[in-house]
Structures are given as structure tokens and as C-alpha cells.
Amino acid sequence: MTAYHPLTEAEAIQYARTLPDLFTAGSELVSREIGDGNLNLVFHISEPATGKSIILKQALPYAKVVGESWPLTLDRARIESEALIIQESLCPELVPHVHAYVPELALTVMQDLSDHVIMRRGLMESNRYPLFAGHIGHFLAHTLFYTSDLGMNQQEKKERVKRFINPELCKITEDLIFDDPYMDSPNNDVPPAIRDAVEAVWSDAELHLEVAILREKFLTHAQALLHGDLHTGSIFIKPDSTKVIDPEFAYYGPMGFDIGAIFANLLLHYASREGWDKDAAARADFRGYLTATLREAWTAFEKEFRSLWDRHGVDRMAKTPGYQDWYIQQVLRDTFGFTGSKMVRRVHGLAQVADINKLEDAAAKERAQRIALAIGTALIKFNRQASSIEEMINIADSAVR
């Protein structure tokens, strides 16, 4: 089992038996392959006698997206497991525990989170998660601060930048988020009903300049170790627990890109409420919950980040008066821009979101798509002037008024 090959379920069970201190020797183990088969195999291995279970996640050497298949480095399994281990050291409650990583098989053995649900699905079922804002604010503050020049030795940080150079997965982001949605690319999947609005995006010079500037930051600004793909499909949740998973896009980039990924997906869901609520009052109420979550997440992030900076900063010059305020303002501005970028690509780009695409009422779906585009483009255009998270909420609320 040492040379790389996609594992069978029998091999997955066989491997699971070799892990120390997990299962009872000789007892029956059951495997279920629960991945979507596009990028990874995911085996759920359980021991019916005790109820114990684990996940074996194995990277596949290709990506399948919309029928196409292209080769994709297995090194992403190393990046994912190393990122998870760093995140666990900083926020032990907020990521799955990694039991083992087997480089030659591109295999990560991790905690089973089957008692959680994917947050995107939870929101689509109109569930609310009152602890989520605090959890994600904490996750962002700790993972971004402690992997940046503010919170770790600046020479060790450079070695870490090196370990997380991730060209193939960054290229997916560079193309699918920052490039294709702004031109008539075959990689787009344009909903016919909103073609007029998408064509307006393709011809909006002001928008294109801001996106080019945001992409330059994504390409060059090695500020902190990002999760890199922090949407609500990368979050397992239940009322009392939040777990951030799947950091295979991890690399050193601008902090606002991770924060913006969360906010974009909250606001995409905000747009999608056009179709999920029975009446206007229920819709306004759920949207109020979403914007309150966004506000609370930013506030928690900012408060904890500033507190870490004041209490645990390793950098003499970071105490320079005015520097912290300048820094937070830049992160806020980046957050506006990346929130917008991550919304726009989800409306007519290659990878869209179930929140909107699962809406059955065509009119509601079209309204949701137009709202998402309106919020996304407005945030992108406003990003370099932003000064408060309230402005983001105002932009969202204006789009549905």
C-alpha cells in the first residue's frame, strides 16, 4: 500500500486498523465513501460495536469540474494537512483533529464530524447559529495574526511562506475568481435570465480596474497563512460547534481574502432568501440575522486581532502609534473587495452556490442572482474607500430595498 493509488474501501479499512489507539483489535469496521469524487476520496470508517469513527481523506491526482478533468498536484494533501495542524495549534476547537498524514498516499486521517452539517446546507434549511460569528471571528483573528509578521518570528514566517507556495490551487482562484467572470469566457456558466446584468459586468471598466488591483494583492501580498477557500461549504456546524475544514487552497496571501470568503457566502445566502422565505417579514428577519452575524463576526475578529496585537505581538515596530489602525483599515478594505469578488464569481462563474441554484422559483432565483451581482459589484467598487463594516451592511440592505 506504499505507492500512490486510489484506495479501495477494503484498503481503507485495512489502513484504519493500523492506527494506534483508535479501534478495538479484531472488531468489525465499516467503510462508506462519502466524497463527491471530484477532487478527493473520503472514507468514513466506523466501528459499529463502539460507535467510534474516523475520516480518511485521499487526494486524487486530478480535478473533475463540470465534466472536465485536469491534473492536479497531490502536494495539496500535504498543504491541507500541514495547514490543519497549524490551525489546530492555534484554534483547537475549530478544526478537525488530524490523527495522521501519509505523504506517499496523499492521505489524511482526521476526526469524523458527521454530527455536524455543512453550514451552507444548514442555512438553506433556515437554521441559525448564534455562536458562529464568535467562533469564526476567533478563528480568523488567531489564524491570521499568529501566521503573520505580527505574531510569529519574521524569519520563520519566510520559511513558512516557502512551504505554502501553492501554484496550482492559486491558479484556480486567479482564473475562476479574478479573471473569467469579467469577460465572456467559456469557463463561465451564465444564467440566461440575467445575461444583461452579466454583460454589464463584462463592460464595466471601473469594476475591472478594481478587480485587477485586488488580484495583484492576491498574487503578491504574503501577509498571513490563509485557509484560501473559506466558504460556507468548508464549514461544518452544529449549534454549539463550528469546524473549518478543507484548507487545500492554503497559501500566504492577504488576510481580507479569508474574511471576504465568509462574508461573501453570508451575503450570497442573504440574496438567496428571495426564494427560501415564505413572506417578506420572514425574509427580512432572516436577512437581519445574516447581517447581524456578519457585523458580529467582523467585530469579534477586529477586537481579538487588536487584543492579540497588544498582548502577544512579537514586533517592536508594530507598536508604532497609528500602525495598528492603518493595518486594520487595509484589512477592512481588502475584505470589501474580496467579498465582492467572491460573490460575483458565484453568480455566473464556473462554480456557483446551491443557496441560489437550488431555488425552484425561477423569478426568485433571478432576483437572487441580480441582488448578489448588485451587492458584489458595489462592494468591489467601494473597497478602497471603506471605513466601517456598517457600510457593507448598508450596501447589502440597499440592494434589497
Q: How far is the CB of 160 from a second copy (least distance, A)?
A: 10
Applying CB under 8 A, among 111, 166, 242, 265 the residue interacting with a second copy is 166
Instruction: Write the binding mask 111 to 140 for a second copy: x where contact by CB under 8 A, - elsewhere.
Output: ------------------------------
Applying CB under 8 A, among 5, 32, 128, 171 the residue interacting with a second copy is 171
- 315 assigned to a ligand binding site: no
Q: Distance between CA atoms of 76 and 60, rounded to whole angstroms?
A: 10
- 57 assigned to a ligand binding site: yes
Q: Identify the residue whose cell numbers are 459499529.
A: 48
- The single-letter DSSP state of residue 243 is E
By CB under 8 A, what part of segment 181-220 binds a second copy?
182-183, 205, 208-209, 211-213, 215-216, 219-220
Instruction: Output 19 or 219, the one with its CB closest to a second copy.
Output: 219
- The single-letter DSSP state of residue 373 is H
Contacts of 79 (CB under 8 A, 6+ apart): 164, 166, 169, 247, 248, 250, 251
Q: How far is the CB of 170 from a second copy (least distance, A)?
A: 7
- 285 assigned to a ligand binding site: no
- 158 assigned to a ligand binding site: no
Instruction: Output 13 or 83, the one with its CB closest to a second copy.
Output: 83
383 binds a second copy (CB under 8 A): no
Contacts of 252 (CB under 8 A, 6+ apart): 147, 160, 161, 164, 222, 223, 224, 225, 226
Q: How far is the CB of 167 from a second copy (least distance, A)?
A: 4
Q: Distance between CA atoms of 57 and 44, rounded to whole angstroms?
A: 9
165 binds a second copy (CB under 8 A): yes
| 8 Å CB contact between 350 and 313 | no
| 8 Å CB contact between 113 and 96 | yes
The identity of residue 305, as a single letter, is: F
Instruction: Output 14 or 73, the one with its CB closest to a second copy.
Output: 73
385 binds a second copy (CB under 8 A): no
Q: How far is the CB of 72 from a second copy (least distance, A)?
A: 13
Q: Distance between CA atoms of 182 and 173, rounded to whole angstroms?
A: 14
Q: Distance between CA atoms of 237 and 235, rounded to whole angstroms?
A: 6
Q: Distance between CA atoms of 154 and 341, rounded to whole angstroms?
A: 30
- 319 assigned to a ligand binding site: no
Instruction: Output 120 or 342, the one with its CB closest to a second copy.
Output: 342
Measured over all CA atoms, what is the biggest interatomic distance in the chain, rounded to whole angstroms? Answer: 66
Burial class (CB in 10 A: 0-12, 13-18, 19+), 185: middle
Q: Identify the residue whose cell numbers are 460573490.
A: 343
Instruction: Output 32 or 312, the one with its CB closest to a second copy.
Output: 312
Q: Which residues pair with 62 in a beta bridge?
A: 71
Q: Identify the residue whose cell numbers are 485587477.
A: 212
By CB under 8 A, what part of segment 271-330 binds a second copy?
316-318, 320-323, 326-327
Stretch that binds a second copy, among 172-180, 193-201, 231-239, 343-351 (CB under 8 A): 172-180
Q: How far is the CB of 51 from a second copy (least distance, A)?
A: 44
Pick from 160, 155, 202: nearest CA to 181: 202
Stretch that binds a second copy, among 74-82, 177-185, 194-202, 271-279 (CB under 8 A): 177-185
Instruction: Write the binding mask 141 to 160 for a second copy: x where contact by CB under 8 A, - elsewhere.
Output: --------x----xxx-xx-
Cell for 178?
A: 479574478
Burial class (CB in 10 A: 0-12, 13-18, 19+), 71: exposed
| 8 Å CB contact between 389 and 339 | no
Q: How far is the CB of 301 from a second copy (least distance, A)?
A: 19
By CB under 8 A, what part of segment 216-275 binds a second copy?
216, 219-223
Stretch that binds a second copy, among 128-136, 164-172, 260-268, 362-370 (CB under 8 A): 164-172
Q: Annotated binding site: which residue ranges?
A: 40, 57, 229, 246-248, 345
Chain residues that interact with a second copy, rule: CB under 8 A:
149, 154-156, 158-159, 161-162, 165-168, 170-171, 174, 178-179, 182-183, 205, 208-209, 211-213, 215-216, 219-223, 316-318, 320-323, 326-327
Q: Annotated binding site for ATP: which residue ranges?
A: 40, 57, 246-248
Q: Annotated binding site for substrate: which residue ranges?
A: 229, 345
